[in-house]
Amino acid sequence: MRRMLAMTMMMLMTTAALAGCAGSDLTDEDVDAAREEGRLAGIAEATPVSTLDTIHDRGMMKCGVKDSQWGMGFADADGVRSGLDIEYCRAVAAAIGLNPDTQIEYILASAGDRFEKLASGEIDVLIRTTTWTTSRDVGLNADFAGMNFFDGQGILIRGDAYPQADMDNSALNLASAKVCVGTGTTTEGNIADWNTVNSVGMDIVPVADAAEATAELVSGSCDAFTGDMSAMVAKKYTLEAAGDCTDCDLWIAPELLSKEPLGAAVRDMDSDWKDVVTWVWFGMVTAEEMGIDSENYMDADTTNPAVDRLLNQNLGLGTDANPLPATWMQSVLSTSGNYGEAWDNSFCDGTYDGTSGSAAMEGCVLSRVGTANALVSEGGLQFAPPMR
């Protein structure tokens, strides 16, 4: 801003000097034109380059993700990635005209360094089970781009230490239980608050990260592990599938300890890029609301103006240098499908037809039925603003 003012002052001083030398040859219009030129030059100097333009110049999108949470951000032994966050990363890349198979660089973003990596430009977008909170939104160089998953904190418990039946299927009866929690996360504060408010008497054990918490749970050093409910479901599934805790008799308490709206984040003052990241998600939700999926979008009735806007219009997204293609949403659908398909690919058996509703999904480790992540038409919270 100081630089912009300095440039404007220099222009005005130069104009004034010219006026003194040239007399009446310099008009008020000349002075106004010089002032406007200085103002526009200052604005151009102060305006940051959009991350979208940087991505296109680089030819690669850097997506900050997890690699250890099945269902959200997971990399198998062969390095193949899956999960709802990965589907989202791929959808964004496809929307802006990149090849989602070859032009995404996945960068591990831990609980401790994710916002630093975002602020420094090491990653372009953070899509990594990150809770949208006041302090993060206001105090960090981060701007949240909508909520792709409504979560809440849960507790995964060793039944051999605290049997589910003896506990009346409730975490309220975990007196003296050693509960592992990742330090530096919102879950640490949540479990402390919940433990105090409900006078449970848990022994809260801070650990470095989810990997350490898992090891402590498996070894029996901790009786329980708390984190996002989606993470607890994924952890139970992976431990049981791998046979890593055969005598644990794991169970998940039904209580939700918090609200954990998970969203993608971009840097502050990067509005064009934020708009793209936000509306890619809303586009996936809109497609499901309209019954449009990865298999039928080519045959959709584009005489319907709303359908045509979704599938064939830019809607102003992008920058002057890099506007989104008019068919950006078609690219999203061919890559990740609509929201229901992305969910099915992440948590279920991948056979969902994309249009029959959450109850039609099969083989789900995490069901969408009756949750906040169902569409509003199914009693959930997921819906998109109008795309017009």
User: What is the SS3 string spanning the chain?
Assistant: CHHHHHHHHHHHHHHHHHHHHHHHHCCHHHHHHHHHHHHHHHHHHHCCCCHHHHHHHHCCEEEEECCEECCCEEECCCCCEECHHHHHHHHHHHHCCCCCCCCEEEEECCCCCHHHHHHHCCCCEECCCCECCHHHHHHCCCEECCCCEEECEEEEECCCCCCCCCCCCCHHHCCCCEEEEECCCHHHHHHHHHHHHCCCCCEEEEECCHHHHHHHHHHCCCCEEEEEHHHHHHHHHHHHHHCCCCCCCCEECCCCCCCEEECCEECCCCHHHHHHHHHHHHHHHHHHHHCCCCCCHHHCCCCCHHHHHHHHCCCCCECCCCECCCCHHHHHHHHHCCHHHHHHHHHCCCCCCCCCCHHHCCCCCCCCCCCCCCEHHHCCCECCCCCC
- CATH class, domain 154-257, is alpha beta
- pLDDT the model gives residue 8: 46
Same fold, 54-149+263-378 and 154-257: yes
Paired tokens of 358: 């959450």
- pLDDT the model gives residue 39: 59
Q: Report d(CA 315, CA 79) in Å as an integer.
A: 36
Paired tokens of 279: 């509306």
Q: Report d(CA 14, CA 32) in Å as an integer.
A: 13
Q: Report d(CA 257, CA 369) in Å as an integer.
A: 20
Block mean pLDDT (10 aa), the chain, length 388: 44 47 63 66 60 98 95 94 98 98 97 93 96 90 91 96 94 96 90 96 94 95 95 93 93 92 95 98 98 97 97 97 98 98 96 95 93 94 94
pTM listed for this prediction: 0.82
User: What are the sequence ranges of the domains in the chain?
Assistant: 2-46, 54-149+263-378, 154-257
- pLDDT the model gives residue 4: 45
Q: Report d(CA 99, CA 96) in Å as an integer.
A: 9
- 6: phi then psi, degrees, rounded to nearest 5: -65, -40
Paired tokens of 192: 């402390």
- 228: phi then psi, degrees, rounded to nearest 5: -55, 140
Considering the domain 54-149+263-378, what is its CATH architecture? 3-Layer(aba) Sandwich (3.40)
- pLDDT the model gives residue 286: 98
Q: Starting at the edge strand that comes first in sequence, how are the strands of the sheet with 143-144 ordered?
A: 104-108, 61-65, 125-126, 265-266, 143-144
